[in-house]
Chains A and B, each alone.
Chain A
Amino acid sequence: MIDTIAPAAAPVTRKAARPPRGGGPGRSVPFFVVPFGVLFLLFYLLPIGYAIVQSLYVVRRTGTFGPATEVFGGLTQYRQVFADGPFWQSVLRVFAFGVVQVPIMLGLALVLALLLDSGLVTGKRFFRLAFFVPYAIPGVVAAIMWGFLYSPSLSPLKPVTSAVDLLSADLVLWSMANVVTWVYVGYNMLIIYSALLAIPAEVYEAARLDGAGQFRIAWSIKIPLVMPALVLTTVFSIIGTLQLLAEPQVFRSFSSAVTSTYTPNLTVYSTSSIPNFHLAAAFSVVLALTTFVLSFAFLRVTQRRGAL
């Protein structure tokens, strides 16, 4: 029943979808959307709203041990955020990190997904599992594991780790990038791979009949068809990079170059441990806005190019 040629041109035709006839399909939208929506409202939006409101408050106190009262302070906390030099240095730092690490990670994920889908590889099941396992390893053991692997004296890669100080101020950011890549290549690869699985085989038949090789098929057919998935993984990665927390915390325990304000989210964490929730909330809001600007800019650029 399906036109075998249509799917190849699908991205173009699907974008010009006809509006629903009558009120029929539209009526069931609430059924699909409300369950998730309610939970999202409760557990994400309301807490975010609370944090935003709290960021507008200041603490007033009497005496050296006097009890505190919360008073509306307007943008006082934000003034402190914008005056915080190390915070903005950390923003630049994660930006530099992202510009290098995200393309490498996603490029590798794409290549591996294409290879797995190409039929050139035997033992697909094993490789899929092998690439997935890093993502499954719990964070609690990461510090011990990477502390060991990067150790100048105990690492199995001792020739490298003792010759070059991978944990020094110049290199630690890239050692961290290595860990993040290691964890998330498999994750992103599986997202892209799932998108590749959705492409019907008939699409390739036509190309193969025309004599196209694997590389040509990958370049001209597969990649354009998984572009939405690629855009998505890029947006996730941008968000994840700006919110980098777990890996810096892990590295803090064994590297002298990682301070408590190394990434913006680490600053949020350190501030809320004092505890200074109002200031931490202000940092979070500013970080969220920065992430918002960058991810929306990226989405706008890709939408203009017609990728979604």
Chain B
Amino acid sequence: MRTTLRALSATLVCALSLTACSSGSGGDAGPAAGPASACAPSSAGPVTLTFTTWIPKIEEVVAAWNAKNPNIQVKVQTGPNGNGGTYQNFFNQLKAGNAPDLGQIEYDALPGFRVQDGLFNLGACDIVAKAKDQFIPWTWGQVTLGDASGVYGVPQDSGPMALFYRADLFEKNGIPVPKTWDEYAAAAEKVRAAGGYITNFSQSDINQFAGFAWQAGGRWFSNDGQQWTVNLTDDKTKKVADYWQNLISKKLVSTVPPWTTEWDNAYNSGQAWTWISAVWGANSIASGAPKTTGKWRVAEMPQWSAGEKSAGNWGGSSTAVFKSSKHPYEAAQFALWLNTSEEALGLLNEKANLYPATTAGTSLPALAKGVAFYGDQKIYETFATAATQVAPDFTWGPTMTATYTNASDGFKAAVSGKGTLTDALTAAQASTIKTLKSQAIPVKE
């Protein structure tokens, strides 16, 4: 045993030297030979950029750029989606100094990368600053971190929310399509009486719940430059939480785990009648519930007071440039083309169902057509309206993975009857503060 311990400590000494090498190179800040924060064109010669993303068929979009830009060639690397391992890989690569030039990062993950000092400030590039007006204002807010000159990604797509509903079932049972949340709760009772559930409450899509809170005016995180404030249980969020807890307790909503075949089946067999989801959800229903084609329609999200015009957002990502990139100017050029040019946005929408974040993008010709699954309704018009109704000041925290996980643990307990959604959010708030403190991020207690 003693000799074993000696052997192990010898290994520790070796490993210590390995650590000394890696942490000597500037800790988490990437390689020492990084570019200054100025954003200037690289000196002569063709440039090759690496871009890691998980957008399906992105290669076709990038090929269009590469054909027209022989001096700036972009090499695409695809893999699992962010939370499926790619974000973890980005963090590892930032630490090792071999991160790609560009990466796809969802809005709620951007602060996490900013806090690891992994992102290049695109606000220093005048081409980016000038492009600000092309974007729907709240999407620009999603990529601005810290002060207004800190732009850390180019918005790519968004997820404005609306109400997907089974028009045929509502009509057959004489239930009016709800326009307010009160009407929605009333409709829930009638739907239950007719044998269905008005919707399935998701125990793990905390970012969908965040979208509800966003619509209601809840603000979970704020940052005054000195410290973060975490407020998962502010009044508006509590209102939303109590509302859904009420529906859960009265068993007016089903609580099947989402994104499972069972969940698909709930929609396919007419058990669940609505889904309050983002624009990209149109495809999810169409694929998961093929038996119900032609029976769905899209309406505006229910509002808290009649006549209000507010929408939530669920999802959306940006194209970010990593701090270690040696060609930030060229990377910014590509990122702007990818997310503002009509050609790129058209291809992204066609191949990957992405809903653009630019004002011009919402009027793409492809988005003006009726969709057969929804009875030829021009569903994207509803989403275009919703996209203008999302509040611009919803800030994400720097450790959203932890917040989502903690909240989901609590939501799971709540749907099983142990505790309420508010309890879950309170616990998640405490956990989030603890996580921030263990990362030495200043946070208000």
Contact = CB atoms under 8 A, between A and B. Distances in A.
Interface stretch (A12-20, A95-103, A270-278): A270-278
A253 B257 contact: yes
A251 to B, nearest CB: 10
Nearest to B226: A64
Interface stretch (A23-31, A50-58, A111-119, A199-207): A50-58
B11 A49 contact: yes
Interface stretch (A67-75, A189-197, A211-219, A225-233): A67-75
A63 B442 contact: yes
A53 B12 contact: yes
Interface residues of B, number: 54
Contact of B401 (A153, A154, A274): A274
B56 interface: no
A61 B413 CA distance: 35
A64 B226 CA distance: 6
Contact of B27 (A70, A151, A253, A273): A70
A295 B160 CA distance: 53
B11 A48 contact: yes
Nearest to A60: B440
B363 interface: no
Contact of B435 (A49, A54, A274): A274
Contact of A53 (B15, B226, B265, B398): B15
A53 B441 contact: no
Contact of A253 (B226, B259, B439): B259
B168 interface: no
Interface string B407-431: 0110011011010000000000000
Contact of B227 (A60, A64, A67, A151): A64
Interface stretch (B16-24, B170-178, B345-353, B385-393): B16-24
A266 B296 CA distance: 39
Nearest to A147: B260
A142 interface: no
Contacts of A272: 88
Contacts of B438: 59, 80, 276, 279
A259 B11 contact: no
A63 B225 contact: yes
A217 B200 CA distance: 59
Contacts of A49: 11-12, 14-16, 18
A70 B257 CA distance: 39
A151 B442 contact: no
A154 B265 CA distance: 8
Interface residues of A, number: 48
Contacts of A255: 257
B184 interface: no
A181 to B, nearest CB: 23
A129 B111 CA distance: 51
A65 interface: yes
B409 A153 contact: no
Interface string A133-161: 00000000000100110011110000000
A67 B28 contact: yes
B11 A68 contact: no
With most chain A CB atoms within 10 A of its CB, the pick from B408, B435, B440 is: B440
Interface stretch (B113-121, B128-136, B373-381): B113-121
A6 B262 CA distance: 61
Contact of A54 (B14, B19, B416, B418): B19
Contact of B11 (A41, A64, A69): A41
A65 B145 contact: yes
Nearest to B29: A67
Contacts of B255: 256
A74 to B, nearest CB: 15
B402 interface: yes
Contacts of B228: 64
B288 to A, nearest CB: 13
Contacts of A148: 261-262
Contacts of B261: 144, 147-148, 151, 154
Nearest to B259: A253
Given A53-B19, A253-B257, A254-B257, 11 more contacts: A48-B11, A50-B15, A61-B441, A64-B146, A67-B27, A68-B440, A152-B262, A154-B262, A273-B401, A274-B402, A276-B435
Interface of A: 41, 45-50, 52-54, 57-61, 63-65, 67-70, 80, 144, 147-148, 151-154, 168-169, 253-261, 270, 272-276, 279
Give me the 9 closest cross-chain CB pairs, A-B, nearest first: A49-B15, A259-B409, A256-B412, A67-B117, A61-B440, A260-B405, A45-B11, A151-B262, A254-B257
13 contacts: A45-B15, A46-B11, A50-B19, A64-B227, A67-B27, A67-B117, A68-B439, A151-B262, A254-B262, A260-B408, A273-B87, A274-B401, A274-B402
Interface of B: 11-12, 14-16, 18-19, 23, 27-29, 87-88, 91, 111, 114-117, 145-146, 203, 223-228, 255, 257, 259-262, 265, 398-399, 401-402, 405-406, 408-409, 412-413, 415-416, 418, 435, 438-442
